[in-house]
């Protein structure tokens, strides 16, 4: 049951719904439920949500919120992102508490992946 007044769902635009779905299926093993030709939902991925066809995309440099994934093997995840057609827009860098990189998936949306600092 959804928690009262807690974040429950996230929706993202995508310029290419089939490419976005294929990317997330390949890299993160997501499964989608299609609701017509212009919307696909995902569930059980830490936060439920969906992608809708649009001529826009979500990028942090335009003020969008940034969804950040966790990876225990940051370099391996970066390799998977690139192999599936993701564009690395910020290579791996350190920040207080860990390391991360940012990528843009084929539908134009920016996401990030973080991990613990080296040696942990």
Which tens digits make up the pLDDT trace of 28-81? 999 999 999 999 999 999 999 999 999 999 999 999 999 999 999 999 999 999
37's CB contacts (< 8 A; 6+ apart) are 17, 53
The answer to whether residue 2 is domain-embedded is no
For the whole model, what pTM was predicted?
A: 0.93
Q: What is the pLDDT of residue 119?
A: 57
Average pLDDT, the chain: 95
* 94: containing domain: 8-113
pLDDT band at 2 (very low <50, low <70, confident <90, very high): confident
Domain count of the fold of the chain: 1
The answer to whether residue 30 is domain-embedded is yes
The answer to whether residue 97 is domain-embedded is yes
The answer to whether residue 65 is domain-embedded is yes
Tell me: pLDDT of 1 over 90: no
The answer to whether residue 102 is domain-embedded is yes
83's CB contacts (< 8 A; 6+ apart) are 26
């Amino acid at each position: 049951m959804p928690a009262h007044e807690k974040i429950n769902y996230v929706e993202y635009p995508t310029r290419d719904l089939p490419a976005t779905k294929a990317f997330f299926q390949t890299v993160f093993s997501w499964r989608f439920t299609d609701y017509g030709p212009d919307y696909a939902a995902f569930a059980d991925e830490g936060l439920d949500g969906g992608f809708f066809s649009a001529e826009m995309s979500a990028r942090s440099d335009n003020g969008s919120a940034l969804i950040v994934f966790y990876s225990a093997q940051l370099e391996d995840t970066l390799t998977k992102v690139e192999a599936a057609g993701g564009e690395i827009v910020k290579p791996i860098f350190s920040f207080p508490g860990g390391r991360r990189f940012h990528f843009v998936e084929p539908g134009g949306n920016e996401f990030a992946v973080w991990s613990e600092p080296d040696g942990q």
